[in-house]
Amino acid sequence: MALLTQAIKGTQDVLPADSHRWQYVEKKLLDTASLFGFKEMRTPVFEHTELFNRSVGDTTDVVQKEMYTFNDNGGRSISLRPEGTAGSVRAFLEHGLHNEALPQKISYVTSCYRYEKPQAGRLREFHQFGIECFGAPLATADAEVISVAALAFENLGIKNLRLEINSIGCPTCRAEYTKALKEYFASKQADLCETCRGRLDRNPMRILDCKSPICSAIAEEAPTVLDYICDDCRHHFEQVKAHLDVLGIEYTVNPKIVRGLDYYTRTVFEFISNDLGAQATLCGGGRYDGLIEQVGGQPTCALGFGMGLERLMMVMEAQGCSFPLPPVCDVYIAPMGEEAVLTASMLCRDLRAEGFSAQTDLAGRGLKAQMKFANKIGAVYTLVLGDEEIATGKAKLKRMADGEQIEVTLQGGLVEAVYDDLFADAFEDLNNAVENFGNKGEQ
């Protein structure tokens, strides 16, 4: 029979064999952010389209070409979120977080949607880890946000990343830069792609981010923004660099970084890897001091970053970073007979109540098939329950790694035996460590 349908192009399934890796990475990232005071926020997968048009920018590729936009049954224009910042800003304002103690620090792991050509590490449904910091004007905040990403990479074991930073100034000094860009690109307008010709009058900085080889080559000789930023922006950028130096975070100033979204101001940054066969941005972010006001709030400084999880995990695999082993079944109980089935259910209940993973037969298999299944799921122990075991109230707990068997009583003894055997070595190591620590203290 033919399969009714397949996953939509640009999406992927995370299967049980791999889900523990995702859980590990997501927890590491959220735990790292929490060390800096960032707390998790969850926002809806779709928003009113005008939120993204206003915040992301209607001259960006994201808004012009990549958003999934539709009219709902009420005739309202709705879009699936293409990134995490806009929804976070909307929630920050809608729920009055701006009235609480600032800065407000939030983190999230979220799905995002962009209609673009699927490729390695870039899907139409993808996932981001991000942080946002609202109400922090100092350069210290810029360095701290970068520090979160740097420590997250370190905690995941990722190496060989390059941090590139830039300042794209404030709206005041950027006006002069925009004027210079218009003059430069106007003389080369005929050679620009159609999209960039449309950007020339509205937002020429977007041309610097164009992926067209011809436009990229033209942009190489364009004026650089650092030649136009005002004294305040220059001082802020110098302070960011000073803080990064103190923190021991290496960086390179790249005056060509502008980021792909319109809301950025002043500091922008990217963490870049070359481990995917080509240069790939793993994390990008910066300041967006004007965004909250654009969305309807009072002027409020803000900054953050987004980190693509698919690409992140590809780099981890390429670098041989360690992932935890998938969870296994601690005990598989193989019942033989109706009464044994009931007893097995009760024993599994008791094991699970103590935090152990326990399974029993759900398919009416014979003993040989059950043992084969226990091997497939990686059971640490197996226990066979038949008429004799039920009658005597005792059974043999078999350690699958070496075949050693431990006699246990079914009433209360099973949990104790599993607990003692699983944790005997761990307790011995802990006791030795405590004893050694005490000996050092006495010395």
pLDDT digits (tens, 9 = 90+) for 215-260: 888 988 888 899 999 999 999 999 999 999 999 999 999 988 877 5
What confidence tens digit (pLDDT) does each residue in 346-385 have? 999 999 999 999 999 999 999 999 999 999 999 999 999 9
Parallel, antiparallel, or unpaired: how do β-strands 302-308 and 125-134 relate? antiparallel
Q: What is the largest CA-CA distance in the chain?
A: 94
Torsion angle of C-alpha atoms 26, 316, 253, 29, degrees rounded to 10: 10
The pLDDT score that the predictor gives to residue 263 is 77
- The pTM for the full model equals 0.88
CATH fold of the domain at 16-170+229-318: BirA Bifunctional Protein; domain 2 (3.30.930)
The pLDDT score that the predictor gives to residue 116 is 81
Separation of alpha carbons 270 and 161, rounded Å: 10
Check if CATH label 3.40.50.800 holds for domain 331-422.
yes
Contacts of 297 (CB under 8 A, 6+ apart): 89, 92, 93, 98
Contacts of 50 (CB under 8 A, 6+ apart): 77
What confidence tens digit (pLDDT) does each residue in 290-327 have? 999 999 999 999 999 999 999 999 999 999 999 998 98
Average pLDDT, whole number, for the chain? Answer: 90
Structure-block tokens of residue 39: 């707390």
Q: Domain coordinates of the chain in residue numbers?
A: 16-170+229-318, 331-422
pLDDT range class, residue 211, cuts 50, 70, 90: confident
Higher pLDDT, 89 or 117: 89
What confidence tens digit (pLDDT) does each residue in 70-95 have? 999 999 999 999 999 999 999 999 99
Average of pLDDT values for 46-55?
Answer: 90
Average of pLDDT values for 118-130?
Answer: 86
The residues facing 384 across adjacent strands are 334
Burial 163-195 (b: 16+ CB within 10 A, else e): bbbbbbbbeebbebbbebbeebbeebeeebbeb
Structure-block tokens of residue 1: 């029979």
The pLDDT score that the predictor gives to residue 417 is 84
